[in-house]
């Protein structure tokens, strides 16, 4: 767990190995608190990035290191329909006030579901190699497909 970092957006926080134990060291049945507040305190009204996460919460750690392909977002085509936000299985689409803002690459697993459900033509999200720079990916964006005549 040493050196696990969250991003700027999530508030940079280095998780010190001395203070933490690995998953295989945790006693069975133990409760890992997600927040540094009593359980009865409701944090649902606080925006996700402002909640007092504990070091045991996966929100504070980057967990996407095994991703090999990633979604790239094209703001110019997006219609803010929120489909990607609804369907992402890792809550990795960042949306505020019904406006799509981008992808949380700390937690995105590269599954491609967001691309599948994006309804625009061409899609506003496309999968690229993890190594591809966003600008280079945007330069390769496909043109709008014409409807086939029946
Ligand atoms: S690729 Fe998968 S995990 Fe990543 S943002 Fe899209 S739906 Fe979410
Ligand atoms: S599904 Fe596509 S069009 Fe809809 S908000 Fe997401 S990126 Fe934008």
Ligand 1 residue neighbourhood (C-beta within 6 Å)? 71, 88, 90, 92-93, 103, 108-114
Q: What is the predicted pLDDT for the residue at 21?
A: 60
Cα–Cα dist 63/129, whole Å: 18
Mean pLDDT of the chain: 82
Return the structure tokens found at 44: 């649902």
Spacing, Cα 71 to ligand 1 middle (Å): 7
Cα–Cα dist 122/61, whole Å: 33
Cα–Cα dist 118/84, whole Å: 6
Structural domains in the chain, sorted by start: 1-62 (no CATH), 69-139 (3.30.70.20)
Tell me the best of 120, 137, 141 to mutate to test the pocket of ligand 2, counting ligand atoms within 8 Å of each CB and taking the most: 120
Spacing, Cα 20 to ligand 2 middle (Å): 38
What pTM does this model have?
Answer: 0.76
Q: What is the predicted pLDDT for the residue at 34?
A: 82
Least confident span in 1-5, 23-27, 108-112: 1-5
pLDDT tens-place string over residues 104-136: 888 899 999 999 999 999 999 999 999 999 999
pLDDT at 8 over 60: no
Better-predicted residue by pLDDT, 40 or 128: 128
Q: Which of 38-42, 60-64, 102-106 has the highest mean pLDDT?
A: 102-106
pLDDT at 5 over 50: no
């Amino acid at each position: 767990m040493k050196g696990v970092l969250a991003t700027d957006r999530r508030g940079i926080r280095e998780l010190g190995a001395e203070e933490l134990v690995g998953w295989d060291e945790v006693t069975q049945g133990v409760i890992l608190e997600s927040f540094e507040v009593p359980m009865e305190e409701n944090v649902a009204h606080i925006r996700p990035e402002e909640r007092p996460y504990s070091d045991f919460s996966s929100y504070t750690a980057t967990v996407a290191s095994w991703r090999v392909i990633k979604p790239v977002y094209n703001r110019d085509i997006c219609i803010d329909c929120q489909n990607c936000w609804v369907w992402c299985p890792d809550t990795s689409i960042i949306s505020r006030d019904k406006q799509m803002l981008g992808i949380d690459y700390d937690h995105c697993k590269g599954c491609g579901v967001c691309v599948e459900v994006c309804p625009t033509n061409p899609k506003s999200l496309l999968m690229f190699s993890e190594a591809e720079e966003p600008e280079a990916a945007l330069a390769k964006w496909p043109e709008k497909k014409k409807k086939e005549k029946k």
